[in-house]
Structure 1
């Protein structure tokens, strides 16, 4: 009987011990589920403007950092750092898990990069009805009403119907103070021929593909956006001779290359320095008109300027609604509309997310 009693006491003690163990586990579990079961993130604009509320995240769970709603005029948001001037620790909307201890608070500071200066020159040889002055006026409307992180272009120079030597001088002066991260826009509307020459001078002079390329390589620092509305303008991208069976064309090409031998070393604008949008393929004419040329019409509307109503309009090419018109978006919008009349816009590089125009803060 005494032995049975001892066994009973041992079993009871073991039971009590197990129960106490579970109680401790439960207390700890309650503690984890309580104030120490989550952590918080506090967002600092770090020179920007706007408000962001604290983000609370449950421990041991995945979450996405809040999308940055801060803005800084003339700057682009890069990501979040743990210090004011530190390296980027987290990207916008990055997926995270347990980036600090449970029950603690993490301060994140927005990191900013100063935007590029954007400058533009608008050129045109509009002495004939096929090249309307409204081409230049429409693109002038686009450039002057584009807003990048709250800022307009640094300068927009309206300069149609000038001699070639004056155009060269103006290009040199407009982009004289460019820095490597700046963006320069050059719009041209004029006649073009099957050899890629663009007749932009009012004195019946032209730029060859290689001649224009050498000029811009030498005098325009940074990224260059080249937009050309002319027949055969696609040769700016693919500088190959227009296929023809007329022997006189081959003779003219031979003479032209011989005279301009120094300009034949460089072919096309297919380098990282250039973003190119052309109104037609290398072997194709472009449609002009009394009002506005076909390609320029849809480039303007895609970028937020109505060429007929002569005022700002919605960004028709902005398919994702973010206030930015990328090269890919403007190409797709204009291509789909222009091709209905047998003309084909061409672009370099393809599928580029480079922001050309827009209205965004």
Structure 2
């Protein structure tokens, strides 16, 4: 009897095994794309965030065009020193109000076959809250992001809980990609990933049959742990800045900007398109693909192997960041080749 039960369990799991990669043969992609450089406020500026965001949007757009996938993009960028009324009242300015509205809009345009990608590149505080754009127009030189008590203005902070609460009505799958300090606060310790070193058959089976899993349709891919920072190289020594995490992510998807990296020899280093974006999408199957499939887990595996910063601290690498991935019962297929 015991042997029969084990065989039944194994056969059920094996029957489901072909679905470990969540099927999405007919689907659409919606991208909510957020990046800030903070040059219009009294927070330290970032130099790779806009490159990260613009190149990721173009990469996904080109792949979707090649594969005839319906694609919708909402980009919210804060770029440069302007903080006048026209700037902060722009509907595409990444203020907290506008981003909450964008998250709400996702619930109205998404469908059951949607893959909704939310990408953020910018600062975050120690609980993972995103530091969004200043709406201060009173200061003459730059807007302030601090209140009178010296803390960051609450109106600029979008918490992890607020983001999750805003996703309740979104249909389809949600992929949250965060390149910021303390981004591991999005990661659910109880969830597993196929690339997790602790993954095994029993854990996978328990997860598969669980009826209480709350994150079946939410996938998290973040730059670092919840108590660690994420980094970009110094602007003094690099002509084209990216966050280490997003640069590897872009390469994994087949984007090449001509700078140092796995794909650095595939285009002219000085190639800049008419849209002002340096780089282009390489031909063929991208580096992150496994068996001609790019999935969440294949991406994080590629990033861990190719990011230009140590994953763990040691005597030689003071700075490090360890990408985190979390998902529901399946790995999620993004693109097929």
Question: Which range, TM-score by smaller chain?
Answer: 0.5 to 0.7
- 1:132 and 1:113 map into 2 onto residues whose CA distance is 30
Instruction: Specify the structure having the higher radius of gyration (Cα).
Output: 1
Tell me if the contact between 1:175 and 1:184 (Cα under 8 Å) persists in the aligned partners: no
**In the alignment, which residue of structure 2 is the partner of 1:176?**
108
**In the alignment, which residue of structure 1 is the partner of 2:182?**
232
User: Does residue 215 of structure 1 match 2:186?
Assistant: no
User: Does residue 129 of structure 1 match 2:46?
Assistant: yes
2:157 to 202, 206, 216: 206
**In the alignment, which residue of structure 2 is the partner of 1:313?**
282
Q: Which has the higher contact order (CA 8 A, sep 6+)?
A: 2
SS of aligned partner of 1:299 = helix
> Shift of residue 319 of structure 1?
3.3
- 2:248 and 2:182 map into 1 onto residues whose CA distance is 18
Structure 1 pair 294–352 and aligned structure 2 pair: CA distance change class (3 A): farther
Within-5 A mapping of 1:4-43 = none
Paired residues, what number? 218
User: Does residue 120 of structure 1 match 2:35?
Assistant: no
Structure 1 pair 345–307 and aligned structure 2 pair: CA distance change class (3 A): farther
Structure 1 pair 149–306 and aligned structure 2 pair: CA distance change class (3 A): closer
Within-5 A mapping of 1:1-361 = 115-127=26-38, 128-147=45-64, 150-161=67-78, 162-203=94-135, 204=145, 205-218=156-169, 220-238=170-188, 271-289=215-233, 290=235, 291-308=241-258, 309-313=278-282, 315-320=286-291, 322=292, 324-338=293-307, 340-341=309-310, 342-349=320-327, 352-357=330-335, 360=337
After superposition, give the CA deviation of every residue in 1:194-249 in whole Å (9 maximum; x if it has no partner): 2121213344412111111001123x222101100000101101489xxxxxxxxx
Report the RMSD for the aligned CA atoms in angstroms.
3.0
- 1:318 and 1:172 map into 2 onto residues whose CA distance is 32
Structure 1 residue ranges without an equivalent (≥5): 1-111, 241-268
Normalised TM-score (structure 2): 0.58
- More strand per residue: 1
- 2:307 and 2:25 map into 1 onto residues whose CA distance is 36
Tell me if the contact between 1:327 and 1:351 (Cα under 8 Å) persists in the aligned partners: no
- 2:251 and 2:25 map into 1 onto residues whose CA distance is 28
- 2:106 and 2:183 map into 1 onto residues whose CA distance is 24
> Shift of residue 189 of structure 1?
0.5
Structure 2 residue ranges without an equivalent (≥5): 1-22, 39-44, 79-93, 136-144, 146-155, 191-212, 236-240, 259-277, 311-319
Structure 1 pair 113–239 and aligned structure 2 pair: CA distance change class (3 A): closer
Tell me if the contact between 2:46 and 2:122 (Cα under 8 Å) persists in the aligned partners: no
- 2:328 and 2:321 map into 1 onto residues whose CA distance is 18
After superposition, give the CA deviation of every residue in 1:75-119 in whole Å (9 maximum; x if it has no partner): xxxxxxxxxxxxxxxxxxxxxxxxxxxxxxxxxxxxx99612221
- 1:167 and 1:189 map into 2 onto residues whose CA distance is 13
**In the alignment, which residue of structure 1 is the partner of 2:205?**
none
SS of aligned partner of 1:354 = strand
Tell me if the contact between 2:183 and 2:223 (Cα under 8 Å) persists in the aligned partners: yes
> Shift of residue 327 of structure 1?
0.9
